Structure 1
């Protein structure tokens, strides 16, 4: 049994965790015992961060202190800003810019000489990373537009402040609440590729900056992050087509085109996060443009009723509705995956800290399938 090959480590248990649990058959996601629906409807992203990092939901005093500690860490160094400007001018991809920014944050870390086994110091470092990522991302986008960065607003929560720094305008309540909810939904999701990458790095007792940088790198791959961008590009293609959106879906299906945002390695039913974002998309449509919501619901209805995909375990995942929600909020399409990272960094940090409490270097084996007993030939005789 120990020698059974499990490609991609699928189904292999490598750790125990109290952070999140996924029931793929029931379509249920919980963070530390709380359903994602309850957290999305009743908590803020800051409360969810506190829950993941400290093991319980904060009371008012704890939340006030925690939020203040995040707010005071939002500023990034002039060196980071200068690098974001250079990368924007060079046409760099946003995920690559974010990877660089997170790595650079450590240069200004006041506790960078802390003992790697000091988990309280690691948590403080993780808090600084989480607070600074929105500032660096927003600055990069502003530089791409030829605009100056917008300083953080200490009166705004993390979600609303990001939208403010991105656009230069304070978001309305619906936009701020929707984006805050999206951050909650993406904060953690078991041992996905980026979380596991962060844990592997953390298991070496490398610093948390290295672990989060590795998480960003893993998320940048198209097989992990990026599906929400793919969904939005399809919706734009529908919008620019001469066909009615129902006709477009039927033609795409006849041509055998795969619609992004459907199917998941864990869920066999509709992703519970997709249900929540679908509701937010509908609310945004009622207060603005409705066509993006119409397109997504038409696609889902066609693929589920006409093709019966949901009966075969292929249903909408979180990316199917997050793409249109972000677009309705005015967020550039290639910023969708960096926003995913902005949210998921909290989960990466939580998993690294949890694993390091009883750390063991993650060191799997590979089955050797190469040659044996080859005769060595000296260089001059080859």
Structure 2
């Protein structure tokens, strides 16, 4: 691997005019990146962050200062490609040191044409976002912050960028046709494997993370993954034992077709939703969603289970939330809340087999406190099949 001691100057300009200077540690044909600038508090797991489809449309800042030290390995991918629009770190480590590493972080970003910049004061940037809220930003490589004319043009460009509110980002990350997840990877099949015993799960792909599918398969399931715009009638024609609604990026209220599909699927099969899937269920049940000031992104978010009083340390990545006051509590029971800001983190239906959580129980990266939720889903399917005689 060639060392790249030379770094090209780069700037980050936020929509409020704030400027942060840094240096590009990648070499790509693209010299600009637009997106919503957010931060993630995880000390590890940058590969999982980069490949999480929920980050589509976002420029991600890592609060931990040292990134790249353990490299990249393809076994830990959460999707096929890098999903973030660009990556901001305090200090990039050029030489990875890990027996599992297959390439450097810079090489990985370059494969997808994504910009990575270092030397940014990430503590100041994170504090600014916490105080002012997540906002639109643009990264430009090869630009001197003293060039007032160029800086003014870049500021105008970022202010004209539509952002994420009201925008359907799911269409950029969902699969284009159904596929079977089997033996730990996507298979070029569109039907159930007749040789595979166990429960059959229909998963609606709004930007699904691979480790969710791995967790379901470890529990004896085979999973057919469907594009986000698949009609409810088509999904039910496959006669699944359970329905899973995945995580995904952007504003849930903009994914109106998915909300309508979920409404039609409610009560037909046991249903489990994670993150965006949780938000879509909330909308389908008549609730509302709203944008959080700066979102929850990291692997250390405390959540309280209201049934047991137990506190879980969870992995999270979302900028929108279901308004808990908008839900009809005569039919919906609130099950989990975030202890940092008391926003809704989970709910279940009182009459039909359905539950969902805002956080990520697949724990990649992150704690394993919430993996019991996959077992709960399997048990719900088992009970439903026994009661219905299916």
What TM-score results when the alignment is normalised by the length of structure 2? 0.29
User: Greater Rg, structure 1 or structure 2?
Assistant: 1
Bigger fraction of residues in helix: 1
State the structure with bigger RCO (CA 8 A, min sep 6), 1 or 2: 1
What TM-score results when the alignment is normalised by the length of structure 1? 0.29
